[in-house]
Structure 1
Amino acid sequence: MQNVVDRRLFNQLIAGGKRDKPEQVVRHLGAMQAQDYHQALWAIGLRMQSGTVADVEQNMADHKIVLTWMMRGTLHFVPAEDVKWMLELLASRTLAQDHRRLEQLELNQEIIQHASTIIYDALHGNKRQSRPELMQLLEEDGISTKNQRGYHLLWYIAQSGLICHGPKEGKLQTFVLLDEWAPNAQKRSMDEAIGILAERYFTGHGPATVQDFAWWAGITLSHARQGIEAAKSRLVSEKINGHEYWWGEPVLVGSRDAEPGVYLLPGYDEYQLGYKDRSAVLKAEFASRTIPGNNGVFMPTIVIDGQIVGIWKRAIKNKGIDIEFDLFIPLADRAEEITMAAERYCAFMNLPLALTSFKE
C-alpha cells in the first residue's frame, strides 16, 4: 500500500506540487472539511507554496472561496464558482433526510420559510450579520432559537442555498446572502455535476475507491459509480489488494528527498477524513487517539512518511506559539524534522515558534 500512500501525499498537495493561491487548493481537492475554522485555514495553507493565515482569510473576503454546510451536513470550504451546483447535488440529499430532526425541534417548512424571510431582509444589499444578531432577530419575530433550534435553522437555510458564512468580525463568524456573495456561481446539470465532482475527488484524493468517494460526498454507491463513469476518460484505475482504486492522470511521485517527510496536519484534514477506509495511513490501534472518545472530534495529526504517527497541540502565548507533540511510537531520530514542520506552521500563523515539547 506504500504506492497508495505516496500518491495520496502528492495528489493531496501535502508533498510536492503545491499551489500559489487558496482557491487553487480548494478547487483541486473539490471541497475541504472546515468544522474547525482555524484548523481549516491551515489545511489550505500547508498546501500552498507560501502564504499566511491572513492571505487565506483575504481570499475568502475576496469571494474566491465560500464556507458553508455542504456534503454530509458539515462545513466545507468550496470554490465560489462551484457552490451552487454542489449544494444542489449534495445538500439536497441531506435536507431530504432531515425530517426526524425537524420534528424533534418542532420545526416545519412554514417556520423555516418565515425565518428565511427574516434573514433575507436583514442581509439583503450586501449586509452581513453575526449569528447572535440573527438569533436576536428571529427571537424578536417570535421564532424560538433555544435548544439548537436557531443553529439548525441556519444550517437548513444555508443548505437550501440562501445564505453562507461571510468573513469573521473579531471572533464572530458572519452570514451573508449566497447570491450576493457568489454572484457568478455556475449552474450545471446533475449528470455533469457528478462527473466533475468525481474527477475533482479522485484527482485530489486518489488513489481511492468508489466507497471512499460515496462516503466523502455523502451520496449512494450507485450515484458514486455514475460519477466515475462520467469522469472515467480523465481517470486511471488499478486493482490493489483486490480493490479497485481510482486517481487522476498519472503524476511523477518524485523523491522523498525533495522535502522533509514530516508534516503537521490540522484536525479534520482531508488526508484522514477524506476516506471511508483510512487504514492505508492510520493503524487501527491509533485511531482512538486521533478521535478521542470517538466523539467526532478529529485531532491535529503528525504524519511521517505518509503514516499518521502522533497528534499535536498548540498554545498561543505572548512570546509566540508553544507546541506539544504526542507520538504514538518512538521516533526520536525525527525530532528535528518535526520541529521544522512546526516552524512551517508558525510561519503560516506569522508568529514565532516559542517552545516545543514531546509528551512522555
Structure 2
Amino acid sequence: MVKIPMTELNRLIGFRRLHHQRISSQQFASPDAVVRWMGAMQAQDYAQVVWAVGARTQHPALSAVEQAVADGKIICTWAMRGTIHFVPPENARWMLKWLAARVVDASDRRLKQLELTQSDIHRCRDLCENALQGGKRLTRDQLLEVFDQGGIAMTGQRGYHILTQLAQRGVICMGAREGKQQTFVLLEEWIAPAPTISREEALATIARIYFTSHAPATEYDLAWWVGTTISDARLGIAGAGDALRRETIDGQTYFMGSENEPVATAESAYLLPGFDEFLLGYKDRGAVVTPDHMQRIVPGNNGVFRPMIVVDGQIIGTWTRAVKKGHTEVTCTPFTQLSDTHLALTNAAAQSYANFQRA
C-alpha cells in the first residue's frame, strides 16, 4: 500500500483524472470521439456540455460539437440517473434498457402525484410516434401541444415527466436544435440499428468505459455515476476482467484501465464548465475540491454547479462568461491568489474558451 500525504495525494489524483478524462493530454480529433471515450456526459445545461466536449478536443469549436449533435453522432437523452446525458449512438439503446430502466421502475410514486397513469404514458407514446414518424422533429412545446390535443393535459410538471418517461423507454431522444430550442425525434429513426447486449455485458461495458476514462475512481464512484447498486457495480467490475486494474492508495482501492500511461504533472490551469465530469463524475469529490471551495461551486447546495477553474488538478475558483456581439468576455474569480505562472495559464484557458465560441 502506498502512503502519500493527503495534499499531495489529492493533487496526484487530480492530475491523473485530468489525463484520463483527456483534458490535459491526448485530446480527440472529433467531438463524437470524446463522448465515446467518456461514455456519458451530463447535459442538462446545453451551453455547459458543449464546452465539456470541446475542452477535450484538439481544436475546440462550438460549431463542430453542434454539428455532431445535429448529425446524430452524439445522442442527447435521459440515459442514466434520470438526468440528460450526451452518449454515443451505438450505446444509447442498451444504456436506456439496462441503466435508465431502474429510474423508470422507481417513477410510479411521482407519476401518481402528477395523476398520470401507465395508460396516459402509452397514449402519449402513440401520439408521439404518429406525430414524429417519417423523420419529423418537434420542439418541446410543439410535442406537448400534441399530447394536450390528444386528451392528456399538460399542466404543471406533467409534460416534463412524460417526455422523460418516453425518452427513458427508448421512444424519443433529442435531435438537431432549431435555433436555441431542442427538438425531439423518434429514437428508432434517429439512431442506426446496433447489436443487443445482455444486462451482464452492459454492466461490464459501462464499468470498463468508466474506469478507463475517469481513473482513478472507486466502485462507489461507479455505482453513483451509473445510478445503480454497489452489487451491480461490483458485478460490472468482475465482468470487465483484465480490462481493469486496481491500485490501493492510502487504504482506498481505486480502479483504472489496463494501460499504465505516464501522467504529466506540470503546472496547468483549465476552465471547465459547470456539471463537468471532472467533478460530477464521482460520488466522492473531495480529492479535487475542498469543502469550503465546494460551497462556492454549488452555493447553498442548490444543485447548480458553477463553471470552475482547475489549477494543478484542484478546483480553486469559478468563472463566468458574457457573450456580446462579436466576442466573448470571460471573468475569472479564483478563491486564492494565483502565481504569475498560474495566472498566465488561466488567462490562456479563458482565451481558448473565447476562441471555442467563435469557431
| TM-score, scaled relative to structure 2 | 0.95
Residue 3 (structure 2) aligns with: none
Residue 348 (structure 2) aligns with: 340
Residue 46 (structure 2) aligns with: 37
Residue 269 (structure 2) aligns with: 262
Residues 1:8 and 2:17 aligned together? yes
Residues 1:117 and 2:134 aligned together? no
Q: How far off is 1:249 after superposition?
A: 2.1
Return the alpha-carbon distance in structure 2 between the equivalents of residues 11 and 254 of structure 1: 9
Counterpart of 1:222 in structure 2: which amino acid? Answer: S
Residue 107 (structure 1) aligns with: 116
Q: How far off is 1:24 after superposition?
A: 1.1
Q: How far off is 1:319 after superposition?
A: 4.1
- Deviation sequence 1:53-95 (CA, Å, 0-9, x none): 1111111122111000111100000000110001111110001
Return the alpha-carbon distance in structure 1 between the equivalents of residues 351 and 238 of structure 2: 43
Return the alpha-carbon distance in structure 1 between the equivalents of residues 102 and 147 of structure 2: 26
Return the alpha-carbon distance in structure 2 between the equivalents of residues 161 and 293 of structure 1: 35
Residues 1:290 and 2:300 aligned together? no
Output the aligned Cα RMSD: 1.2
Is the 1:84–1:186 Cα contact (8 Å) retained in structure 2? no
Identity %: 46
Counterpart of 1:45 in structure 2: which amino acid? Answer: G
Specify the SS of the correspondent of 2:330.
strand
Is the 1:40–1:266 Cα contact (8 Å) retained in structure 2? yes
Residues 1:178 and 2:187 aligned together? yes
Is the 1:83–1:185 Cα contact (8 Å) retained in structure 2? no
- Deviation sequence 1:187-235 (CA, Å, 0-9, x none): 1111111111000000000110000000000000000000000113111
> Within 5 Å, which residues of 2 pair with 1:307-322?
307-322=314-329
Q: How far off is 1:254 after superposition?
A: 4.1
> Within 5 Å, which residues of 2 pair with 1:136-147?
136-147=145-156
| Change over 3 Å in CA distance of 1:323–1:9 after alignment to 2 | same
What residue ranges of structure 2 are gaps of 5+ in the alignment? 1-8
Return the alpha-carbon distance in structure 1 between the equivalents of residues 126 and 251 of structure 2: 53
After superposing on structure 2, the runs of 4+ consecutive aligned residues of structure 1 that deviate more than 4 Å are none
* Partner residue of 2:309 out of 302, 323, 343: 302
- Deviation sequence 1:26-76 (CA, Å, 0-9, x none): 111111110101110110010011141111111112211100011110000
Moved more, 283-292 or 265-274: 283-292
| TM-score, scaled relative to structure 1 | 0.95
* Partner residue of 2:58 out of 49, 60, 72: 49
Return the alpha-carbon distance in structure 1 between the equivalents of residues 194 and 99 of structure 2: 16
Is the 2:327–2:358 Cα contact (8 Å) retained in structure 1? no
Is the 1:281–1:306 Cα contact (8 Å) retained in structure 2? yes
- Deviation sequence 1:164-196 (CA, Å, 0-9, x none): 001110111000000000022331111111111
> Within 5 Å, which residues of 2 pair with 1:131-170?
131-170=140-179
Residue 5 (structure 2) aligns with: none
Counterpart of 2:248 in structure 1: which amino acid? Answer: K
Specify the SS of the correspondent of 1:321.
strand
Return the alpha-carbon distance in structure 1 between the equivalents of residues 312 and 181 of structure 2: 38
Return the alpha-carbon distance in structure 1 between the equivalents of residues 74 and 210 of structure 2: 17
Structure showing greater relative contact order (alpha-carbon pairs closer than 8 Å, 6 or more residues apart): 2
Residue 354 (structure 1) aligns with: none
